Amino acid sequence: MNHSILREYAKLIVRCGVNVQKGQEILINAGLDQPEFVAMVVEEGYKAGAGKVTVNWSYQPLTRIHAEYQEIETLGAVQEWEKAKLQHYVDTVPCRIHLISDDPDGLKGVRMDKLSKARQLSYPILKPYSDARNGKEQWCGAAVPGVAWARKLFPELDNEAAVEKLWEAILSASRVLEGDPIENWAKHNANMEAHCKHLNEMDIEKVHIYADNGTDITVGLIPEGNFCGGGETAKSGIFFNPNIPTEECFTTPMRGQAEGIVYSTKPLSYNGQMIDNFWMRFEGGKVVESHAEVGDDVLTTMLNMDEGARYLGEVAIVPQSSPINLSGLLFFNTLYDENAVCHLAVGMGYMDCIDDYHNRTNEECRALGVNDSMIHTDFMIGCDTMNIDAICRGGETVRIFENGEWNF
């Protein structure tokens, strides 16, 4: 891949993604797949004024080995030095960049119950640190090609050609290949903001989502909630883009208000294992029944992670004409597949969807109806026949989405 184009992508992630400010620290989480690109991101961070850039490297095969040989208590332990590091992040609030490249089912065969129990042990220790950072951070999730991931998309190609092809797909979806990427994102953010503004002015009480494949669910929304999309603003007042790419207008729903059934339309990679052709049925806002043709045990484990894992944390609207969907590619990666079609998420809700959340505590947001959980897992339900009716608090019902496209 052309190095000048990759340099533009690195610059986009730093300046438009996390929008690092002079003197801020940057923390990059990355696999070993594209070290030269990671070095570009580090350099662009310094050029943008970062005071310090740290890279945390990971390697999925090592995760597999640790999961196989360590005891649950060891996997789930949080050492004192780790707590000190987490407190440092609370105190300094670094920008966080997550560069995704893992094999979507690279942990296939690993005992999911063991990983889940380990996470359940560590989560109560980690949660106060994440709660303390909530809303304060500038963060960005983006992707780079890993060989195993690329070969899953393009199995007919050799390793080098598959990686090159995936680079092209990533850069195209991220609006990097044509024109000035940062200007492209300014226009895209303005378009997303206009759609969200229209939805928020409607004062929607609940949405009815249905399609020919059997999906038929009604979800209640929080009166103080908003639809958000594109970039967002941290409590510091700094604007940033948490996902590159993004095509969704999303909100956090009212906990306990979801009735009906939803069918997946794309596979889901969860903790390195695949779930496919699945459905969930909701009563009283909670998943009371579910089944997957592939990965049913993984789906069940996911939904049993904690009490909040069976409640919704997100409703997101994405037109079928999104660039990612029009590419015709199934990425087997939630960052991309969730921005191809409409989706829901089970687990933790977004506090930054709540009015004036900067001046509300986490507890106040949850009291308004934002779900709490140790997971937040998006799954795709959009299709060409999907319709969404907005039932407004004034009593009017308005079709806002018809046959997979915006209706306004």
What is the pLDDT at residue 217?
A: 98
The answer to whether the CB of 104 falls within 8 A of the CB of 332 is yes
For the chain, the domains span 3-173, 181-406
> Per residue in 4-51, pLDDT tens?
999 999 999 999 999 999 999 999 999 999 999 999 999 999 999 999
Using CB atoms within 10 Å of the CB of residue 382, give its burial: 0 to 12 exposed, 13 to 18 middle, 19+ buried.
buried
pLDDT range class, residue 351, cuts 50, 70, 90: very high
> Per residue in 108-153, pLDDT tens?
999 989 999 999 999 999 999 999 999 999 999 999 999 999 999 9
What is the pLDDT at residue 136?
A: 94
Q: What is the chain's mean pLDDT, rounded?
A: 97
> Per residue in 95-111, pLDDT tens?
999 999 999 999 999 99
What does the pLDDT average to over 159-168? 98
What is the pLDDT at residue 247?
A: 97
Distance between CA atoms of 209 and 258, rounded to whole angstroms? Answer: 11
> Per residue in 184-197, pLDDT tens?
999 999 999 999 99
pLDDT range class, residue 167, cuts 50, 70, 90: very high
Distance between CA atoms of 93 and 82, rounded to whole angstroms? Answer: 16
CA 194 → CA 95, 145, 190, 244, 339, distances in Å? 27, 32, 6, 19, 18
What does the pLDDT average to over 62-83? 96
Q: What is the dihedral of CA 347, 351, 354, 360, to 10 degrees?
A: 140
Distance between CA atoms of 29 and 37, rounded to whole angstroms? Answer: 13
Instruction: Return the number of other C-beta atoms located less than 10 Å from residue 397's C-beta.
Output: 11
**What is the reported pTM?**
0.94
pLDDT range class, residue 245, cuts 50, 70, 90: very high
Distance between CA atoms of 408 and 405, rounded to whole angstroms? Answer: 9
Q: Considering only CA atoms, give the Rg of the chain.
A: 20
What is the pLDDT at residue 243?
A: 97
The H or E element that residue 388 is part of is strand 387-392
> Per residue in 281-337, pLDDT tens?
999 999 999 999 999 999 999 999 999 999 999 999 999 999 999 999 999 999 999
134-219-286 Cα angle (round to 5): 75
Is a pLDDT exceeding 90 seen at residue 1? no
129-77-63 Cα angle (round to 5): 100
Is a pLDDT exceeding 90 seen at residue 277? yes
Distance between CA atoms of 96 and 18, rounded to whole angstroms? Answer: 7
Percent of the chain exceeding pLDDT 70 equals 100
CATH code of the region 3-173: 3.40.1830.10
Is a pLDDT exceeding 90 seen at residue 168? yes
Distance between CA atoms of 108 and 172, rounded to whole angstroms? Answer: 29
pLDDT range class, residue 373, cuts 50, 70, 90: very high
